[in-house]
Amino acid sequence: AAQDESQADKLGPDDLPDEGAEQAQQSTDECEIVHNGTQHKLSRDKVIELAQKGFDYTTKTQALASQQKASLELLNRVQEIEQLAPQLVDELAQVRAAERALQPWANVDWITLATNEPLDYPKYRAQFEQLREAYGMAVNGYNQKTGQMQAKKGEVAQAVVRQELHRLQEIMPQLRDPKAFQQAAQEIR
C-alpha cells in the first residue's frame, strides 16, 4: 500500500499535458466565422476589432439615416413652398383684377347718383357691392396663401436651424450640455 502511495505522488506520462490540449487552448483564441459565404479563421483580437468597427459603422449609419430623414423632410417643406408659389401668384392676379374692376367706381358720388338717377341707383350700387365683395374675397384668399407660405418658410428655417445645431454638436460634443451651449451662445453674442 505504501508503494501505491509513492507511485501516486510521482507524475507519469499520462499526467503531462498533451499537444492536443494545447491546441484546444489556442483554438479558443481563434474563431471561425462565415462572411459572404466564405469561412474565415480570426484571432480573438481581430474579432473584437471587427466588432468595434461594426458598432461604429452602425452608429454612423444610424446618424446618417437620421440626417437623411431630416434632409428629406426639409426638401418636402421646400417643395410645398414651391407648390404654393403659383397659387399665390394666381391669388394676387385675382386681387389685381378685382382692383381694376373697382377702379371706375372709385370717384362715384353715390349721393348725387341716388339724387339724379333714383331708378338706376340700386342697380349701380348692387354692381359696386358685388365687385367690392369679390375684391374682399380675393384679398382674403391672397392673405391666406401668404400666411401658408410664411408658415412653411418658418418651418424650413426651423428645420435648417435644427440641422445646423445637430452638426455643431457633432463637431463640438461639449455643446450637447445645455449649460455649456448657453454659455457658448452668450460668449458668441
Distance CA 124, CA 129 (A): 9
pLDDT of residue 119: 95
Strands (E), the chain: 30-35, 38-43
Cell of 173: 460634443
Cell of 123: 342697380
Nearest CA to 30 out of 45, 13, 49, 20 is that of 45
In a 13 Å sphere around the CA of 22, the CA atoms on its Cβ side amount to: 4
24-49: pLDDT as tens digits: 444 457 888 887 888 888 888 887 88
Distance of CA 158 to the CA centre of its chain: 10
The pTM score is 0.56
The pLDDT > 70 percentage for the chain reads: 85
123-174: pLDDT as tens digits: 999 999 999 999 999 999 999 999 999 998 998 888 888 888 888 888 888 8
